[in-house]
Structure 1
């Protein structure tokens, strides 16, 4: 075993997050330098990072593990409802609360629902989109390794901060308001809860993310300042939702199920004949 492989095996998560940031942020660096790689930010960085680290540190075992999580569909119908429906419910709650706070009433007349469904389907299978570009890395690879060391509650906090930091260029580019960073931290707890309750199903995380982006509060007919207000209201909705799942489902936050944990195999010392 080479020293490089041994080091990567001992520092899987460090390598993963460093690569995820590097791959996604490199186009931004070129953009700041006055050049262009065709896009100022690459959302598939976490997916690329996970595949690279797995190739070096885990090999076939790692790819089988990640693949099995992605096709883990026998999780019970209720988790499909949660994955697809909870993001929609939170957006609708945001619309109502924003209206109550003084904005015009939400207007769904302009929403083409067939387009929403099509967008959901495309986001689910497109690796250059944020759903499939992020989730195999953040939830499919990093989370099971974090939960091998930390409680689900602590793992969600660590992953939330690191995932929010990964989004910083989007704030600088004007594609995401700054409130999107704490919102990313908070919503990570919902991802962790869904992932663990569905037995470590990466598919549920991908569907949740795809649904989150297919139907947004920007489709509710708000304009200008009301859109910004809705973003703050959405943050509040996320806090309430996380408070509910943490307070009402305490057991799942103490210890992750074995199916949602990736125990790192013991590394074989160099020269041991492997």
Structure 2
């Protein structure tokens, strides 16, 4: 078990202020430039897209901000210990099954209810395109979790129950995405923000017990995040959001004790050892 010493790790609640500010500054500056000065931005830097380097920078902002905070507070030694949480690989079998089977099931069931094809559109582009997009997604969205679950969640759980920490992070996470809905060239521009915002809160609620049951692992929230954007899944909007609301409600009902209590909450940002918590 990783010993919890939040008061000694140098990462207090105030550390979340620069984390949030830097996260929004990076992402909103890039997206805002393209929204307000699209022709100028495209002429100078190229049209924004899901594979543009600046899009990667915008998406990686929570990770960049988290790393900056940890380096400032604890230096390279602190960062090294923090990154060891990527090696916490043990997970209860039920949650592993949920990530591997349950999350894809949400998208396939949603597509079935919608009456949409159960095969992802990307398959029509050939195997090479599928593999390329899968690789891009693997190093795109999941990296965010170095910030949201790597830093923000354990710090907030020192001061509030997991359910409230999850809702707060989900709300901030959703608002952080807002400019993308006005940014042509990225997938969000074709979505509605309100369902997405609600979905983000639900996703944050769902991943929280996974995070806590794995003893503060960053690896499993990253893999969970990958399942959310995996290009192999069919288009299930907005029914995937409806189903995710149902899943989050079930979690609040069946895991209410640990969601409304800090008893089993993981509050470690920088562990003092490499030992992982054995899942139960």
TM range (shorter): 0.7 to 0.9
Q: Which residue of 2 aligns with 1:123?
A: 137
Q: Is the 8 A contact 1:79 1:204 kept in 2?
A: no
Distance (Å, rounded) in 2 between the aligned partners of 1:206 and 1:263:
16
SS at match of 1:20: helix
CA distance in 2, matches of 1:198, 1:108: 32
Residue 65 of structure 1 and its aligned partner are, at CA, apart by 4.2
Aligned counterpart for 1:194 among listed residues 185, 207, 210: 210
Equivalent residue for 1:17, pick from 13, 20, 29:
20
1:9 and 1:254, CA in 2 relative to 1: closer, same or farther beyond 3 A?
closer
**2:177 matched to 1:161?**
no
Aligned to 1:87: 103
Q: Give the direction of change, closer, same or farther, for the CA distance of 1:82–1:116 in structure 2 (3 Å limit).
A: farther
Per the normalisation by structure 1, the TM-score is 0.76
Residue 108 (structure 1) shift:
2.2
Q: Which residue of 1 aligns with 2:246?
A: 240
Aligned-partner Cα distance in 2 for 1:201–1:141: 11
| Superposition deviation, residue 9 in structure 1 | 5.9
SS in 2 for 1:58: helix
**Equivalent of residue 254 in structure 1, options 255, 260, 271:** 260
**2:112 aligned residue (70, 92, 96):** 96
Give 1:76 deviation, angstroms.
3.9
1:62 Cα deviation from its structure 2 partner: 3.6
Larger mean CA deviation between 145-154 and 192-201 belongs to: 192-201
| CA distance in 1: counterparts of 2:93 and 2:134, whole angstroms | 18
Of structures 1 and 2, the one scoring higher in RCO (CA 8 A, sep 6+) is 2
Instruction: Report the Cα offset of residue 23 of structure 1.
Output: 1.1
Matches within 5 A, 1:129-168: 129-132=140-143, 134-168=144-178
Flag structure 1 segments of 5+ consecutive residues without an equivalent. 1-6, 100-104, 221-229, 265-274
Among residues 56, 61, 81, which one is paired with 1:45 in the alignment?
61
Q: 1:121 to 1:195 in 2, by over 3 A?
A: farther
The reply to whether residue 213 of structure 1 matches residue 216 of structure 2 is no
Aligned to 2:274: none
Q: Structure 1's 65 and 258: CA in aligned 2 closer, same or farther, altered over 3 A?
A: farther
For residues 245 and 117 of structure 1, do their structure 2 counterparts lie closer, same or farther at Cα, with a shift above 3 Å needed?
farther
Unaligned ranges ≥5, structure 2: 1-9, 49-53, 271-280
Cα separation, partners in 2 of 1:116 and 1:147, compared to 1, 3 Å: farther
Deviates more, 1:53-62 or 1:31-40: 31-40
Q: 2:245 & 2:227 partners in 1: Cα distance?
A: 19
For each residue in 1:187-229, what CA deviation from the matched residue of structure 2 results, as whole angstroms up to 9, or x when unmatched? Answer: 1111112211222111111101112111465x35xxxxxxxxx
Stretch of structure 1 that moved more, 87-96 or 73-82: 73-82
Q: Does the Cα contact within 8 Å between 1:120 and 1:214 map onto a contact in 2? A: yes
